[in-house]
């Protein structure tokens, strides 16, 4: 089972980082106010970044690392992926 680390951009411009093994189901939970206390009143959301891991432990470690970053570093991470994707 693959685990996904994701970053959401909330309607207020804030960024939320989480993990899941089913991104569609997790987004539905966020959209209905059942995903996380932080996102309950901050929708709608836009998935800005994802990474995939083979184990939950690895995903949790990466989530913690991303959460420890300051906003400019998170924005750079999101932007770097977008630039790479446009180069393909």
Which residues does 3 contact at the CB level (< 8 Å), separation at least 6? Answer: 19, 20, 21, 52, 53, 54, 55, 56, 58, 59
Rounded to two decimals, the pTM is: 0.88
DSSP-based three-state secondary structure for 50: strand
Which residues of 10-87 form beta strands (DSSP E)? 15-20, 46-53
Kindly give the parts of the chain with pLDDT less than 70: 81-88
Q: Hunting for tokens 């206390």 — which residue is that?
A: 37
User: Tell me: domain 3-87, CATH 3.40.1440.10, correct?
Assistant: yes
User: What pLDDT shows up at residue 88?
Assistant: 45
H or E stretch at 33: none
């Amino acid at each position: 089972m693959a685990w996904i680390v994701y970053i959401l951009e909330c309607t207020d411009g804030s960024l939320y980082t989480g993990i899941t093994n089913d991104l569609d189901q997790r987004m539905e939970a966020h959209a209905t106010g059942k995903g996380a206390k932080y996102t309950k009143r901050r929708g709608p959301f836009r998935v800005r970044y994802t990474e995939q891991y083979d184990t939950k432990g690895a995903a949790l470690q990466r989530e913690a690392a991303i959460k420890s970053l300051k906003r400019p570093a998170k924005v750079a991470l999101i932007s770097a992926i977008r630039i790479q994707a446009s180069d393909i």
